[in-house]
Structure 1
Amino acid sequence: MTDDGSLTVRPARSDELPAVLSLLDEAAAWLQARGINQWPSSFTKDATWRMERIKSYVDRGLTFLAFDTSGEAIGTFTLTEQADPEFAHGWPDGTENALYLFRMAVTRSANGSNAGGRILDWAAREAGRRGKKWLRIDIHRLNPALRDYYERRGFVRVGEVLAPDPTVPGRIRGSGTLMQRPATD
């Protein structure tokens, strides 16, 4: 468990999968309401590979929950040493020297508290603690507001990769903008 004074971050336990999914569902609904087709409309109701993948990440201690000072779970994300295999060839200096952040979501009730920024700072420190050079993300190519959000938090775009969507023949995945920021101490 790590605490930065206002945010406590720790791996989600298997019995906390509903909390992780609730945070993801809230973020997915918010995106859908704004016409941003980035995630499924509901992770909980999505009966595809996503549910098994998320459960697997939770079970392996790769998905985290962030708690505010009252102990309420206000954010979730997955952090792994494995790049998305569809985008691995796009990273400029290989994949071994980074941690990769996936599916970050912060509850709307924490809007304006910089919870997302504090999660990213925590993840950058975690990358440094593990001897990595970079914290990396691949984000939706067609969401400029999301790209701007990460740029304001120190990420730099280092490439863009088009990859087929394995769930829909002939469709290209929305993700593929590759961004990174330096790991910190």
Structure 2
Amino acid sequence: MTDQQSITIRPAGPDDAGTVLRLLDSATAWLAARGRTGQWGTEPASTDPRRIAQADDWASGGGLHLAMCADRPVGALVVGSASGTVPPAAEPELYVRLLVTDREYAGMGIGARLLGHAADLARSRGLGLLRVDCYGGDDRALVRFYEGCGFTATEAFTVARPGRDPWPGQLLIRRLG
């Protein structure tokens, strides 16, 4: 039986881009099987050149961290600067660019643990603000997840996608003491 104490977090690097794609593919399939295609669609990230390049950038950019259960990656966190789809922060911040976990390990608090790691990284850099954006559509379950991890929803936004429905996003903040 795996418990939360057996999960460790390690910095990742260029060799871990494939791991990020595997986690994204698994999460996308899980969401699609439940009819929740608005967040990441239905196609695997590992077949999308844009997502492959994004995973390569994350893995080589210094902000990728993996949650590990023994030798198995069970979650990924990418921190850095905010994307251009959200308003800039009025103060220095650390931005959560990606959070994804292996659904086989659901209920173990891996996402919350990775977000706690992001908060620790921000504090260690002298930053008092952690921000994240997420899919804000459907029943807003993802927004509630982040709120349960200490974030406060602020601005909703929409990302235009040519040939597809707009993507509803939600910006959230967490003040760090």
Output the CA distance in 1 between the equivalents of 2:104 and 2:20.
15
Contact 1:75 1:106 in 2 (8 A): yes
- Offset from partner CA, 1:19-65 (integer Å, 9 cap, x none): 22111111111111122221143110123x22212211111222221
Contact 2:17 2:58 in 1 (8 A): no
Count of residue pairs brought into register by the alignment: 171
Q: 2:47 aligns with which of 45, 48, 56?
A: 45
Amino acid at match of 1:150: Y
Amino acid at match of 1:16: D
Q: 2:135 aligns with which of 140, 143, 158?
A: 140
Contact 1:124 1:182 in 2 (8 A): no
Task: Indicate yes or no: 2:174 matched with 1:181.
Answer: yes
Output the CA distance in 2 between the equivalents of 1:149 and 1:163.
21
Q: 1:99 aligns with which of 94, 98, 113?
A: 94
Output the CA distance in 1 between the equivalents of 2:73 and 2:97.
17
Q: 2:104 aligns with which of 109, 117, 121?
A: 109
Task: Indicate yes or no: 2:83 matched with 1:84.
Answer: yes
Amino acid at match of 2:145: Y
Task: Indicate yes or no: 2:145 matched with 1:149.
Answer: yes
Q: Percent same amino acid among aligned pairs?
A: 30
1:14-53 to structure 2, matched below 5 A, reads: 14-36=14-36, 37-41=38-42, 42-47=44-49, 49-53=50-54
Q: 2:159 aligns with which of 159, 163, 172?
A: 163
Alignment RMSD (CA, Å): 2.0
Amino acid at match of 1:62: G
Task: Indicate yes or no: 2:9 matched with 1:9.
Answer: yes
Stretches of structure 2 lacking an aligned partner (at least 5 in a row): none
Output the CA distance in 2 between the equivalents of 1:183 and 1:30.
32
Amino acid at match of 1:161: F
| TM-score using structure 2 length | 0.86
Output the CA distance in 2 between the equivalents of 1:11 and 1:40.
28
| 1:5, distance to aligned residue in structure 2 (A) | 5.5
